[in-house]
Amino acid sequence: MASLGCAAGGDAGDGGSNLPERGFAGYTRVLAADEAPLQPVEKPDGVALGDPFARVVDGRVELYVSLCPDGVPCRIAVATSADGRAFGPLETVAEDPAGLTEPYVVGDVFYAVRGEGAALVSGRLDGTDVRAVLEEPGARLGSPSAVDGRLFFTREADGAQALRHAELDTGHVFPDPLVVEHRPADWTPPAILQPEIRRATTGAGRSVYRMVYAGRPGGGDADLAFAAAFEGGAFSDWPFDPALGGDPDEFAPSNIRFGARYLLYFARPGGRLGLAERVADNPTESF
């Protein structure tokens, strides 16, 4: 298994300038009729929504979220949409007495954070076979992404946070953190927050790992950024990061391609969600 390492550089073998355009130019926030940010999923009173994860199934967008009623452990719910903008009612698909957040779904299997980050778990969307896939006493684990037999995740301990990855079948954690090579000189956040990683294929048939994440450069509001890597290379930032900034605190992004559009979902303050999109006029990859 090739390791996504920490090398830097700009040749065709790393995650540098040879990566494709990757669908991040020209995103526009989607607004409602009153010019407020569109809320794709209706937020019930007394409930916070967060951690969106989107995927396309049978021509519809499924949006998984953490649903957190006041005073009750969070659970994972899903809503569906024919256009990616307006979603139907939420339906609970996974719950645990300790609470579940930060979903990532592959087929009929979900990955999520149990409790306050004590463990990363997996289970079936029918509520069966829920089990811990990674635990580490003394650390806060988060943001699981299951890609090509690897589990990418964040690890926070002793005030430091790093992006790591492990083998899903063995649980072996690779010893070195995954380091993003920051290219934009004026936007270098100290940590990668709430990343989502997916596998894409370039027009030439080459695998690319896409990562969207939140960052707080200088301790300010959370903005959304993009990084990518070829298999075996370093993650490199998009040169024009932040990919989406300027509004107060947008975090926990999830990015999909839906027909001719790229859709970027994210969490907003107050337990709300938001959406930005762009038309894929000249797409360079599928994912």
Listed by start position, the domains of the chain span 28-280
On the question of a cis peptide bond just before residue 242, with omega within 30 degrees of 0, the verdict is yes
- Residue 219 main-chain phi, psi, to 5 deg: 75, 15
| Nearest-angstrom CA–CA distance, 278 and 29 | 9
Q: Is the Cβ–Cβ distance between 122 and 110 less than 8 Å?
A: yes
pTM above 0.85, yes or no: yes
| Nearest-angstrom CA–CA distance, 265 and 115 | 24
pLDDT of residue 88: 96
Q: Which residues of the chain have pLDDT under 70?
A: 1-26, 232, 280-284
CATH architecture of structural domain 28-280: 5 Propeller (2.115)
pLDDT of residue 14: 42
The 10s digit of each residue's pLDDT in 238-262 is: 877 888 888 888 999 999 999 888 8
pLDDT of residue 24: 64
pLDDT of residue 64: 98
Burial letters for 46-76: b for 16+ Cβ neighbours within 10 Å, e otherwise?
ebbbbbbbbbeeeeebbbbbbbbeeeeebbb
Going by their DSSP bridges, the two strands 180-181 and 235-237 should be labelled as: parallel
pLDDT of residue 113: 98
- Residue 211 main-chain phi, psi, to 5 deg: -130, 125
pLDDT of residue 232: 64
* 108 CB neighbour count, 10 Å cutoff: 11
Strand partners, 266: 274
pLDDT of residue 51: 98
| Nearest-angstrom CA–CA distance, 236 and 16 | 6
| Nearest-angstrom CA–CA distance, 68 and 57 | 25
